Amino acid sequence: MARMKFICDAERCIECNGCVTACKAENNVPWGVNRRRVVTLNDGVAGEKSISVACMHCSDAPCMAVCPVDCFYRTDEGVVLHDKDVCIGCGYCSYACPFGAPQFPTNGEFGLRGKMDKCTFCAGGPEANGSDAENAKYGRNRLSEGKLPACAEMCSTKALLGGDGDVVADIFRTRVLNRGKGSEVWGWGTAYGKPVQTSMAAPTEVKK
């Protein structure tokens, strides 16, 4: 089995926030902590696009690299997890993460910052699978129940795909081909626009 990955299809996401709700309910995530959130680009403008963002379980995770107490680990399935008994809540991972995944509960005065909390791909933590201790610290361990993350499994438009990276990539590729599209759906074209070749001149950007 390949590594577990998420991908969100911006053409399908309708910004319902169902994934956010499912995550919070399934894992008893406290107020102020959002393991998953929906980001909308050009909100309110015709053609707006939304994507659901959480920990992407990077193959070479920057949070793992910067953690001064080495509380992160990666499972055989490629899920990046951390040990809350080791975490000191310093926040380095928060600065290192390009997706804003690490979250910190603030339940006191003077900027008190608790231990880091993030998406676990519904795979719990280092405690015994399905134990009460694991549930209390990290939430539900659906992977050990033969299930995939709640956010992806309940997504009503199947915009958010989660699971074996190869399978997820195949599903997304099939969609793109069926739409008759290419890189403009998700890739260079989306990020930078299509270059227009003018005669005898360097490519110029199309105004969006």
Partner 1 sequence: MRGLLATAAVIGAALLAGCGEKPQTLDAKAKGPDAAPWAASASSPFYAADWKGGDKAAWEAQIRTRNQGQNDYAR
Residue 128 in contact with partner 1, rule: CB under 8 A: yes
Nearer to partner 1, 156 or 183 (CB): 156
Q: Which parts of 46-85 interact with partner 1 (CB under 8 A)? A: 59-60, 64, 73-77, 81, 83
Cβ contact 139:28 at 8 Å = yes
Nearer to partner 1, 15 or 153 (CB): 153
Which helix (H) or strand (E) covers residue 171, if one does?
Answer: helix 165-178
CA distance 32 to 179: 38
CA distance 48 to 179: 18
Least distance (Å) between residue 203 CB and partner 1? 27
If you count DSSP H runs as helices and E runs as strands, how many of each does the chain have, helices first? Answer: 7, 8
Residue 174 in contact with partner 1, rule: CB under 8 A: yes
* Number of chain positions touching partner 1 (CB under 8 A): 42
The residues, any chain, with a CB within 8 Å of residue 92's CB and separated by 6 or more, are 63, 66, 67, 68
Residues that bind partner 1 (CB under 8 A): 1, 59-60, 64, 73-77, 81, 83, 123-126, 128-131, 140-148, 152-153, 155, 158, 161-164, 167-168, 171, 174-175, 178
